[in-house]
Structure 1
Amino acid sequence: MLPVSRRPFSELQGLPFVHPVLNISTYLFTPLPDAAALRELLLERATTAGLKGTILIAEEGINMFLAGDADAVRGFVAELKRDTRFASLDPKESWSDHQPFRKMLVKVKNEIIRMNMPAIRPSAGRAPSVSPETLRRWLEQGQDDEGRPVVTLDTRNAFEVDQGTFDHAIDWRIDKFTEFPAALREHKAELEGKTVVSFCTGGIRCEKAAILMEEEGVQNVYQLEGGILKYFELTDGAHYSGGCFVFDERRVVDTALDEAPLKP
């Protein structure tokens, strides 16, 4: 039997929150020619709302990690989504008993996730995605709905993978995401004849990776929608071992999206 989708907070049971700080991770590839001008606006809004975290903006889009009072965090996102360019933002939520960021930073970058492949522009067209629930079903049955074997491809850095990953995931032991294109070209043959699901923490790296794989001629490529964090949020975490490295002072969260010990 498939698990019932769940939300990682006790609001659904009408109980008070166990952890008072809402953490969100979200990104969106959308053209932002005014990225530099947005910096001051977003910094002022976030600071006024009492939020802490990091927002990266570039001409290709936005990438956010924020934490604070739940109403303030959700209000900030709601205000941002009034700009039609950000309307499809879909944050991943988790909770903590402390503020995991020390300050509020808004930075303008050349890329919101560095790949050094300027021709890869997700805003111009995404690779197909697969929902967490569907991936769990595929992994449970050992094949996709067409009968092809399914492999998961971890696009994260090796130190992140060492904290936890999908069972039997392909791991090319890259030290930074800019190494992914070369690793793909070296190992592309091992993906032939399989359905390949690329994944990462929240979806941003595997989105670029899936597009690159398609352009390099890999067939039957998908990206895991929302990454590992959304998989933890919407499934029971089956077929995943360990935790997920996150980019705040919690360092690692488990499949219930609670803070977990960092492996040595």
Structure 2
Amino acid sequence: MSILNISAYRFVGLDDLPVLRERVLAQCLALALKGTILLAPEGINLFLAGPRDAVDAFMAWLHQDARFAGLQGKESFSDGVPFKRMRVRLKKEIITLRQPTIRPEGGRAPAVDAATLKRWLDQGRDDEGREIVLLDTRNAYETDVGMFPQAVDYRMGSFTELPAALATDQARYADKTVVSYCTGGIRCEKAVLHMQDIGMQRVYQLEGGILKYFEDVDGAHWRGGCFVFDERGAVDKALSPASHDSFAPLEAPTGSAA
């Protein structure tokens, strides 16, 4: 597989969006990359595909801007480019939650890495002996492709539904360690900031999301694949393209909520 697919995001204040959009788009087109990049006052969210040298050249160019220095992406490979065109879009939020009091560009949410979460799941508790609750922050059609079977799944149609779901269900998480997860980290980071905002304690995001978890610990404890927002449709635990139909339908998890 000769095409590198990369996804990355960073919450960082941006105040030159129209100019930045034109510069980013021109660089992507010059390198013949395809994909989608979202720019908003709160940061950048990108999904790009192309030959390794072209993707690396773009990331090196992006790193010259101090706001994006050191930005690292999650990588996977495919035989073809899973995007039809190159788009750079300006948005109000790089991931829409509609909670204006949350300012993720002001500081990162606490996180656990893949190895730590695997260890907690192996032993059935966190390192201080507390019960673990996994919270899937993705939409229902994504969780149908794959998820941690024991996770809370609110069967959401949109990420914007999460605050209302949590508002009526906080007792579930009392005195427990909560780890939220999503595809690449962006939704679960914002989710944790919201959970902190409403007074929830011991809440963490899964660093790098499902894709990094697959990369680092081979998807231990995970069932199914991971939905991705491009023409691949989904990837398996080896981060190889996989059809939705290649995964058996998942039963409703025991931790689900209507």
TM-score normalised by structure 2 residue count:
0.94
Aligned pairs, number: 246
Quote how far apart the aligned CAs of 1:157 are.
0.5
For residue 33 of structure 1, give the secondary structure of its aligned residue in structure 2: coil
Q: Is the 8 A contact 2:112 2:207 kept in 1?
A: yes
Q: Deviations over 1:183-230 (max 9, x none)?
A: 110111101111000000000000010011011111110000000000
Q: Where do 1:76-225 residues align within 5 Å?
A: 76-225=58-207
Q: Does 1:241 align with 2:200?
A: no
Quote how far apart the aligned CAs of 1:89 are.
1.2
Q: In structure 1, what is the equivalent of residue 52 of structure 2?
A: 70
Q: In structure 2, what is the equivalent of residue 56 of structure 1?
A: 38
Aligned AA (1:113)? I
Aligned AA (1:209)? A
Quote how far apart the aligned CAs of 1:167 are.
2.4
Quote how far apart the aligned CAs of 1:82 are.
1.1
Q: Does 1:257 align with 2:216?
A: no
Q: In structure 2, what is the equivalent of residue 43 of structure 1?
A: 25
Structure 2 distance, partners of 1:34, 1:119, is 22
Quote how far apart the aligned CAs of 1:35 are.
1.4
Structure 2 distance, partners of 1:35, 1:61, is 10
Structure 1 distance, partners of 2:206, 2:189, is 8
Quote how far apart the aligned CAs of 1:88 are.
3.4
* Runs of 4 or more above 6 Å deviation: none
Gapped runs of 5+ residues in structure 2?
250-258
Aligned AA (1:53)? G
Q: Is the 8 A contact 2:8 2:74 kept in 1?
A: yes
Q: Is the 8 A contact 2:102 2:197 kept in 1?
A: no
Identify which range, 117-126 or 198-207, moves more after superposition.
117-126
Q: Deviations over 1:25-75 (max 9, x none)?
A: 100000001112111110100011010000000010000000001011011
Structure 2 distance, partners of 1:88, 1:151, is 31
Q: Identity over aligned residues, as a percent?
A: 59
Structure 1 distance, partners of 2:57, 2:212, is 21
TM-score normalised by structure 1 residue count:
0.92
Structure 2 distance, partners of 1:78, 1:236, is 28
